[in-house]
Amino acid sequence: MTKLKLAIVGAGPAGIYAADILLKAERKFDVSIDLFEQLPAPYGLVRYGVAPDHPRIKGIINALRNVIDHGDMRLFGNVHFGTDITLEDLKRHYNAVIFATGAVRDSALDIPGIDAAHSFGAAEYVSWFDGHPDVSPEWTLDAESVGVIGNGNVALDVARMLAKHADDLLVTEIPDNVYQGLKASRITDVHVFGRRGPAQVKFTPLELRELGELRDVDMVVYDEDFQYDEASQQAVASNKQVMVMDRIMQSWRKLDSVNNAGGTASRRLHLHFWARPVEVKKDENGRVAALVYERTESDGAGGAVGTGELREVPMQGLYRAIGYFGSPLAGVPFDKKHGVIPNREGQVLETKSNQRVPGIYTTGWIKRGPVGLIGHTKSDAMETVQHLINDQGSWWHPEDPSDEAIPALLAERGVQWTDLDGWHRLDAHEIALGEAHESTRERVKLVPRDEMVRVSRGE
């Protein structure tokens, strides 16, 4: 029987789902899968890209854990593709590779002053509060007023984690350094800016509703943003999600804090619609001082056009949440404009010739860009895996597909890789840290990479 030795680079949802789908697919060959992950722990964006106060994420992690714990694949964590292991190495030891490395950089926003001190990408802040081992453990929250640019779920995650009181996060798995950083926060006002109207937001109802449930935080909306034209009225009437979100925001219009009148809470979260950022003003030290935006209006078709009216909101920090962007991989074609690996339904293509590259596949956000939820990731992986199965005639012919080859190669290069047993050790260690905590947290994430590796390797 034909054997398929497959490498998957990236042990987040996209990579794990691809492995699961392949293992369950009807096929006429044996399959052996090795997952490579640059972090010492698996699960990717589910562990390091989602706010810790989302309980439903635990369900996704449980599903991913069930897949990798099934015993049909190996995990090589703390392994950097391009240095610790290369594309040429993979060709020597595997029949094919699927790249599932996601999109973790922030998309750029090209406006004057965006390079000011204390102007951040959302991914930086998210990585910090999720305890990513490759970002600084320190984050200064000394601003009283901050802005968030974006009208998607990431923008709401960032806004919520800026406005929420640190003690209300003690039931989550936030690391101690994050709790201390949030506890020291001086924030009183968080302003969220979207260039279109309330009926065109990219939030989901659950995310929006959570904002209104924050303790000691007043929701502030502005009556002028809710003068709906026909297109907005139609959006509310025809889409159940939009209808629910409109109902939530309309309820906030009845609060004491509407139109900035002021409520009783110590913090306020302002939603500004029809606001297109045009400039970040700096103070004498080069730090964010204000955001200038142009007031927009509906174009009658669900979009927005400028009115020419400029407004300014003073602030001392700014976070842009306008989307994520993929990173290039050594030796792999890359589309610099869209931040993805060029592909046709997961089959990787040469950048210039558009010809298929044998043996190389892709799935997840590095394949299609940072859009869609977990359900999209599964169907996306299914499409890629189906092509992989059908392309048997163009697989690589590895010199040494033995199970011993990769551990020997990594050992020779001095790579301190972590495996599945190591992840179980780290997982148990973090749970024990939570149990030892006064607030009986479910777990406390370990942050420094060297400590994660030490615990994983039982050293």
The range of the structural domain enclosing residue 70 comes to 2-104+326-417
| 69 and 175, same domain (yes or no) | no
The residue that leads in pLDDT, 72 or 75, is 75
* Per-residue confidence (pLDDT) for residue 302, from 0 to 100: 83
Residue 66 CB burial class (10 angstroms; 0-12, 13-18, ≥19)? exposed
Beta bridge partners of 189: 145, 268
pLDDT band at 448 (very low <50, low <70, confident <90, very high): very high
Rounded mean pLDDT of 292-299?
A: 96
The mean pLDDT value of the chain amounts to 93
| 221 and 79, same domain (yes or no) | no
pLDDT tens digits for 334-363?
999 999 999 999 999 999 899 999 999 999
Rounded mean pLDDT of 155-160?
A: 95
Last residue of a domain, one of 257, 287, 320: 320
CATH code where residue 290 lies: 3.50.50.60
Is residue 452 in a domain?
no
Is pLDDT above 70 for 430? Answer: yes
Is pLDDT above 80 for 71? Answer: no
Sign of CA dihedral 178, 182, 183, 185: positive
| 253 and 401, same domain (yes or no) | no
Is pLDDT above 80 for 13? Answer: yes
| 158 and 239, same domain (yes or no) | yes
Cα-based distances in Å from 456 to 276, 418, 446, 451: 47, 6, 11, 8
Is pLDDT above 70 for 439? Answer: no
| 271 and 127, same domain (yes or no) | yes
| 17 and 89, same domain (yes or no) | yes
Is residue 433 in a domain?
no
| 168 and 314, same domain (yes or no) | yes
Is pLDDT above 90 for 265? Answer: yes
* Per-residue confidence (pLDDT) for residue 1, from 0 to 100: 63
Is pLDDT above 80 for 387? Answer: yes
Is residue 288 in a domain?
yes
Rounded mean pLDDT of 109-124?
A: 96
Per the CB < 8 A criterion, the answer to whether 305 and 297 are in contact is: yes
323's tokens: 């989307």
Is pLDDT above 80 for 374? Answer: no
| 234 and 381, same domain (yes or no) | no
Q: Which percentage of the chain shows pLDDT scores above 70?
A: 98
Is residue 429 in a domain?
no
Is pLDDT above 90 for 145? Answer: yes
| 13 and 139, same domain (yes or no) | no
Is pLDDT above 80 for 55? Answer: no
| 169 and 193, same domain (yes or no) | yes
* Per-residue confidence (pLDDT) for residue 123, from 0 to 100: 92
| 112 and 98, same domain (yes or no) | no
* Per-residue confidence (pLDDT) for residue 116, from 0 to 100: 97
Domain count, the chain: 2
Is residue 85 in a domain?
yes
Last residue of a domain, one of 320, 347, 374: 320
Query: How far apart (Å, rounded) are the C-alpha atoms in residues 199 and 140?
Result: 34
Is residue 383 in a domain?
yes
Angle in degrees, CA 19, 130, 433, rounded to 5? 95
Is residue 436 in a domain?
no
Torsion of CA 146, 277, 193, 175, to 10 degrees: -40
* Per-residue confidence (pLDDT) for residue 53, from 0 to 100: 87
Query: How far apart (Å, rounded) are the C-alpha atoms in residues 295 and 197?
Result: 11
The residue that leads in pLDDT, 261 or 232, is 232
Among 111-120, 278-287, 371-380, the least confident range: 371-380
| 305 and 362, same domain (yes or no) | no
CATH code where residue 70 lies: 3.40.50.720
Is residue 425 in a domain?
no
Is pLDDT above 80 for 408? Answer: yes
